[in-house]
Amino acid sequence: MALFDWKDSRLGEKETKILEAAMDEFIAEGWNGARMQSIADRAGLKKSLVHYYFRSKEKLYRETVWRVMEYFFTTVLGQTEGKENFEDFLRSFINSVVDATGLNPRIPLFLMQELSRGGEVVCSILHDILSLQEIPVTTVMRIHIARAIEKGEIRPVDPIQFILSLLGACLYFAMAEPIIREIGKREGFLDQFDRQAFLEQRKEAVFNQFYYGIGGKRSE
């Protein structure tokens, strides 16, 4: 039932059930839409018990955000080790992000609704997560890119700008899918839409776009 794999051997059976229910509820409804009663129902327990194990809604929410972010920053973005050349690295990164978010669009949307609330929770948790990692994921990626530039494998680009563009391109479809489908229905593309095939095309298209560009010849 859980949207992705987390697990905490330190937690008892009831706590696990509650947290699982809370994650489902928060990810589906967001902070403002989530209801403690609904979390209790999902867990098959009384509401008072939810309060007994986790003092407040806020605490459950933080636990949820923590796990979601940890999943995203390690499982999704962290699949970049061991790739020798930049092409492989890029392909593997795109596959990982498109697959994860295509499989579960609610997760990036959940993070967005949190950002829409100001993102204080997400930032404070991010702070903690980054503190825990010896070498943060983003640094790993930046080094990857810097090395490829040195080796002349790719042209010199600002790693941050590159990552921002890439991540946006990978995430956007999953988040905006309802809109895109509506337009597609209306304007005739996307007839007989095969989602899985589309995601495969998407990976290929993003790779080609970012690796080869659309047509300009480099000026140097």
Partner DNA sequence: TTAAAGTTTGACCAGATGGTCAGACTAAAT
Partner DNA sequence: ATTTAGTCTGACCATCTGGTCAAACTTTAA
Find, among 1, 12, 24, 117, the residue nearest to 54 by Cα.
12
**What backbone phi and psi angles, to 5 degrees, belong to 39?**
-60, -45
Report the residue from 2, 7, 8, 46 that binds DNA according to the rule CB under 7 A.
46
Rounded to an integer, what distance in angstroms lies between the CA atom of residue 165 and that of residue 159?
10
Among 2, 37, 74, 119, binds a second copy (CB under 8 A): 119
126 binds, among DNA, a second copy, none (CB under 5 to 8 A by kind): a second copy
57 touches a second copy by CB under 8 A: no
Q: Which of 86, 92, 199, 200 binds a second copy (CB under 8 A)?
A: 86
139 binds a second copy (CB under 8 A): yes
155 forms part of the interface with a second copy (CB under 8 A): yes
CB of 47 to DNA, least distance (A): 6
The one-character DSSP state at 76 is I
Residues 19 to 38 in contact with DNA, rule: CB under 7 A: 34-37
Cα separation, 130 vs 137, whole angstroms = 9
SS3 annotation, 198-216: HHHHHHHHHHHHHHHCCCC
Residue 49 interacts, among a second copy, DNA, none and using kind-specific CB cut-offs from 5 to 8 Å, with DNA
Residue type, 218: R
